[in-house]
């Protein structure tokens, strides 16, 4: 089963304001593939912050995958330790 993110345009992406407007463009770092263009017309600081957050999506996704794998590994280690403790405790009651 495919993840809902499989097949996205590979990163890195970058966010840049479109000169002379309140618009922002998120594109691949070589600028060849525009991904998102946003326009609010208000020029708030949050506009560019939102564009930067979108641009960081590939990096955040990879970090999420890395941390998810670590969590799985830690869960397995905890379960193994619990089994070991249970066995050790059973042996002390004999």
Q: pLDDT tens, 6-17? A: 888 888 999 888
Same-domain pairing of 51 and 69: no
Give a yes or no: residue 3 inside a domain.
no
pTM for this model (two decimals): 0.70
The reply to whether 89 falls in a domain is yes
Domain that holds residue 93: 65-94
**What does the pLDDT look like over 26-69, one tens digit per residue?**
888 877 777 887 766 666 777 788 888 999 999 999 999 999 99
Residues 69 and 46 in one domain: no
Domain assignment present for residue 60? The answer is no
User: Which residues are bridge partners to 26 per DSSP?
Assistant: 15, 36
Higher pLDDT, 52 or 93: 52
26, 50: one domain: yes
**Is pLDDT above 80 for 22?**
no
Instruction: Answer whether residue 1 is part of any domain.
Output: no
The chain-wide mean pLDDT, for the chain, equals 84
| Residues contacting residue 23 through CB under 8 Å, at least 6 positions apart | 17, 37, 38, 39
DSSP 68-91: HHHHHHHHHHHHHHHHHHHHHHHH
39 domain-assigned: yes
Q: What are the E-state strand segments in 1-94? A: 13-17, 23-28, 34-39
Same domain, 43 and 71: no
**Cα-based distances in Å from 81 to 32, 88, 90:** 51, 10, 14
- Does residue 38 sit in the same domain as residue 71? no
| Tokens, residue 62 | 């990879």
Structurally, the chain folds into a number of domains equal to 2
């Amino acid at each position: 089963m495919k993840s809902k993110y499989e097949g996205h345009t590979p990163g890195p992406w970058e966010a840049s304001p479109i000169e002379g407007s309140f618009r922002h463009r998120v594109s691949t770092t070589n600028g060849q593939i525009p991904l998102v263009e946003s326009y609010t017309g208000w020029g708030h600081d949050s506009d560019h912050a939102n564009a930067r957050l979108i641009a960081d999506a590939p990096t955040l996704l990879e970090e999420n995958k890395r941390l998810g794998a670590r969590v799985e590994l830690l869960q397995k280690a905890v379960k193994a330790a619990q089994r070991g403790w249970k066995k050790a405790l059973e042996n002390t009651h004999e």
